[in-house]
Amino acid sequence: MKIMKYKYLEIMRGCITRQVELVLRSLLICCVYYAFENEACVVAADQVITSSETLFGKIESMSTEAVRLLPRGSTNAIREIGVTDVVMIQFSDEPKNLIEAKKRLMKNDFGGALEALDQVNEDEIQSASVAVRGEYAYVRAVAAGHVAMDTTEELSPALSSIEKVLDQFTRSIHYYDLLEAAGDLERVRGRYDQATEIYKRISRGPPPMVVRAGRLQGNVLAAEGRHVEAIAEFEKVQSADLDGSFIEQEKMMACLGQAESLISLSRFDESVSLIGSMLAEASPEGVPVTATNILFGKAYSLLGQSLLEMKKDQDALIAYLTVDLVYGDAPGTHAESLFRLFHLWNKGGYPRRAEEVRERLIKNYPQSTWAAELNPSIK
């Protein structure tokens, strides 16, 4: 009897164990299912990347002033993100290579952005939504515009492409960036009045855009050789009574513009002092790390240029090494620094180090004008 009871309990325990296993398996399958469902939601969601967070959801609409996003999991709480807070937007149906191109554009890797776009299937873009087509057109036009400015070639076609995008996508969140690129192209072409008129269109935007327009006008004055007036304009930007990461970024760029004008006026000690003060300050809160690194790279490059003019080769070497080793995010700035390091290493009696940076320059930036200067194969 006891044996029968024992066996019965054994049988019951085995049945219970199997039932528990079945329940656990069912729960596991459910968890995996919902995990995949959740992952699918993340992948399928639009994204708005700001200086402080990445927001997922559905982009309901865009204008030149803001993006309206319905956050994931919400039914009616539309969130509006102003143009000066938007770092990048990403639609759920964007091709991966378009996303990569936008990331490279953020790093000022304009040639790399175009290379990424060349991997995008044109048919896929043609069949995509208006929003995705607008993103593609924006990246291609702006990247090509900057490449044209760097090489001073194809300036007019690049400007026409930007104007076409502005006409086609009138509500693009990139409206002001496109205007800036168009004005910059006019400035490089020496058409200063036209550049000024374009920058005035930027000044009609939100208050932070007025600050940006002031900095850009300082660039025009500097290009005209009116450096004293340019410095006054840059100082005005730096004293703007507005807060936010966008403004801090504009102030840093104005500071660098002022330093360039000081160098043009042979006021090298003032340039060194100005850049030193900027670098001594803590990194501004909210400014994306990539943007900060690009600006610091430019700062150390200008510092090196000033120190070279002051015959302080050792200090200049350190400045350019800082760009190479720490702030080499922007290809143009990094390429110039490698070029300067080549000459400084040679001058200091280190030919092997000079050859090493020459090889890196030619390998990493073959299309750069700095590489062309040191590439014997094209001379």
> What letter represents residue 334's amino acid?
H
In a domain, 29, yes or no: yes
The pLDDT averaged over each successive group of 10 residues in the chain (379 residues) is 33 39 43 39 75 92 95 84 94 94 93 95 91 96 95 93 96 96 97 97 96 97 98 97 92 97 98 96 80 94 98 97 94 95 96 96 91 77
Kindly report the pTM of this predicted structure.
Answer: 0.82
Helices 96-106 & 130-151, crossing angle to 10 degrees?
Answer: 40
User: Is residue 265 a contact partner of residue 229, using CB atoms and an 8 Å limit?
Assistant: no
In a domain, 40, yes or no: yes
Find the radius of gyration of the CA atoms of the chain. Answer: 27
Beta bridge partners of 68: 61, 80
For position 3, what pLDDT does the model report? 35
Residue 156 CA: distances (Å) to CA of 115, 152, 182, 334: 21, 10, 10, 27
- Side by side, which strands form the sheet with 66-71? 79-82, 66-71, 54-62, 46-50, 86-90
For position 300, what pLDDT does the model report? 97
Characterize 163-185 residue by residue with b for buried, 16 or more Cβ atoms within 10 angstroms of its Cβ, and e for exposed.
eebbeebeebbbbbbbbbbbbbb
In a domain, 366, yes or no: no
In a domain, 348, yes or no: no
User: Is residue 57 a contact partner of residue 90, using CB atoms and an 8 Å limit?
Assistant: no
For position 378, what pLDDT does the model report? 63
In a domain, 285, yes or no: no
In a domain, 6, yes or no: yes
> 69 by DSSP, 3-state: which?
strand
Between strands 46-50 and 86-90, the pairing is antiparallel
Structural domain of residue 13, as residue ranges?
A: 1-44
In a domain, 20, yes or no: yes
- DSSP classification of residue 53: -
> Structurally, how many domains does the chain consist of?
1
